[in-house]
Structure 1
Amino acid sequence: MSKFEIIGYEEGMEFNERPTISYWQDTWRSLQKNQVAMGALLVLILLTIMAIIGPNLRGYDYINMDIAQKNKSCSATYWFGTDRLGRDLFSRVWAGARVSMIIALVATTLKLFMGTFYGAMMAHFGGWVDDALMRIIEVIDSLPSLLLTILIMMVLGKNLFSLLVALSITAWCNTARQARGMIKQLKEAEYVSAAEALGAGPLRIILKHYIPNMLGILLLDASTSIPSFIFMEAGLSFLGIGLIPPEISLGVLISQGQQAMDFYPTQLFFPCVVLCIIVMAFNLLGDGLRDALDPRLRN
């Protein structure tokens, strides 16, 4: 007779083992339970599809002018009407949304890339390197971001490249601080010490060990940065600091619609609605990701 006996087990019965799931599978399962976040994700997918196919969906030229069709109201022919130069507003709104989203995605990528590696260098080397690099961040943060943006746009010109530089020049500092704090904790892990003992260089340790363990933080940072950049681009273009016609973006369309809002309010209404929906969807998805990525915030 065996020393231990399994209670409730009979000969021939099979054990039902609980399947193991990874951290990302658990995060996705938690996110699926958040109906608001999943709704926001669905809206973002639809908006992305419209930003890709929307400018050519109606078959109208959204760049060249047709004065004979200027300032048309909403109709079966022109769903959003036309602007003061006779261009289809439906196509222009989605073309502007595509440009605004691309700008936000590129600026967010630059922010995460610069901030992550800068923070990793501070935390990994420490000592005087950490102190010197942190002083640089403090100097950059002490400069008024709006004033710095205006100066960059004046020097480099009002174009897409200068706008990306202006949006990214200070935004990476917060990411660098987050990466520094996270990596200071990861640096004490045994697998990092083992990699250093085996002769792994700083770049390999950053790419192989630090960044994979920071993906949750970086993903959350990206989900909150994208709507912020979209809103910043729209605000700068509306004030005449960012992109200017003939460039198309939501900010440019809102600026042009504001000039005609007294007589043709739809030219302002539709770009504003699309901008608000995009920003709200990203913010709601970001809140859902924050709850799903942090086990302490789950119900």
Structure 2
Amino acid sequence: MADFEAKIPNDRFRPAGVDSTKSEEINKPSLTFWQDAWMRVRKNKGAVVSLIVLALLIIMAFTGPLISGKEFDTQNVSHNNLPPKIQGLENISWLPFDGIKTNKAGKEIDTYEINNVNEYYWFGTDALGRDLFTRVWKGTQISLYIAFLAAVIDMIIGVAYGSISGYYGGRLDNVMQRITEILVGIPTMIVVILMILVLQPGIISITVALTITGWVGMARVVRAQTLKLKEQEFVLASKTLGNSDGKIISKHLLPNLAGVIIINTMFTIPNAVFFEAFLSFIGLGLQDPYASLGTLIDEGFKVLRLHPHEMIIPAVIISIIMITFNMLADGLRDALDPKMRD
């Protein structure tokens, strides 16, 4: 035992030096709610990748038609149903951008050489010889427009309606909720068909249909959160200080509802994209010569066996949009949840 004690130096038994001046020092930086949320979003690799992909898609939706140098509605029947062909990639046999396609007999043919076409169509052409690269990005532009329009409608009508209904409560809340229950009971498809009977099929009829029924889900979510928040101490303190109802809603309730509003809006956008594509696929959407991703998929589905590129390319684009928006919404939901904070 004595030998063991002799091997341990006496310095090890001295108390650690503690600097009392640093006992109150905060090592972790002070962050606001939004700074903390953004830091947690950046840690979510799926949300970051989705944000980058969405940014690229939005940029291409507006610059793609300009890059090609072709109009989305220009027809050239002699160039119809051409497969994709891209400069620099045409000599790589394992990539589908060489202008080669398989005919009904199972033989590979160079359609560009047969039709004496000296131009390059990066996504090929459709049955009327229109450039699919331009039409796909023009269709993406229109689909995103309808999606963001649905988000704006949710933000304006749904948030205002839900916050007023939840804050005032009583008889006003009962009347407003009966109205929403009536609107929920009306299928959106019926509203769209009625709008098409009154108006022409297209963006206007879809916009009106979304305006009538699209905001109900957001209104009900905001109302439920408002009913919970209006009994909190900070709202009662604001009332005691004499602030008006409008100021309490705009300055206190809405900032605390921002997380719920953003998350529901992010889930609304892919639903609106799919809704527009579904309407276009069944013939209730946009009409020629205008295109959306739904109309392009509908046209490509008719010739899927002979010209699969006409359906596959817009289908891939709409799938990417749906996946990235949902992954970004999941990341924002985790980042804006107060229970997930460190």
Normalised TM-score (structure 2) = 0.80
1:257 matched to 2:300: yes
Matched ranges for 1:17-28 at <5 A: 17-28=27-38
Distance 2:269 2:21 in 1: 58
Which residue does the alignment assign to 1:247?
290
Report the AA paired with residue 325 of structure 2.
F
Cα RMSD for the two superposed structures: 2.2
How many residue pairs match? The answer is: 294
Distance 2:320 2:21 in 1: 60
Matched ranges for 1:125-274 at <5 A: 125-274=168-317
Distance 2:139 2:22 in 1: 66
Distance 1:53 1:285 in 2: 23
Q: Displacement, 1:29?
A: 1.1
CA contact (8 A) 1:67 1:85 kept: yes
Q: Displacement, 1:199?
A: 4.3
Residues 11 and 103 of structure 1: CA distance in aligned 2, closer, same or farther (over 3 Å): closer
Residues 86 and 155 of structure 1: CA distance in aligned 2, closer, same or farther (over 3 Å): same
Matched ranges for 1:65-104 at <5 A: 65-76=75-86, 77-104=120-147
CA contact (8 A) 1:40 1:282 kept: yes
Report the AA paired with residue 80 of structure 1.
F
Distance 2:166 2:261 in 1: 16
CA contact (8 A) 1:153 1:242 kept: no
Matched ranges for 1:29-40 at <5 A: 29-40=39-50
Structure 1 gap segments, 5+ residues each: 1-6
**Larger deviation, residues 197-206 vs 155-164:** 197-206
Report the AA paired with residue 180 of structure 1.
R
Report the AA paired with residue 183 of structure 1.
T
Report the AA paired with residue 48 of structure 2.
M
Which residue does the alignment assign to 1:106?
149
Residues 167 and 13 of structure 1: CA distance in aligned 2, closer, same or farther (over 3 Å): closer
CA contact (8 A) 1:96 1:248 kept: yes
Question: Which protein has the larger Cα radius of gyration, Structure 1 or Structure 2?
Answer: 2
Q: Displacement, 1:198?
A: 4.5
Which residue does the alignment assign to 2:335?
292
Distance 2:247 2:197 in 1: 40
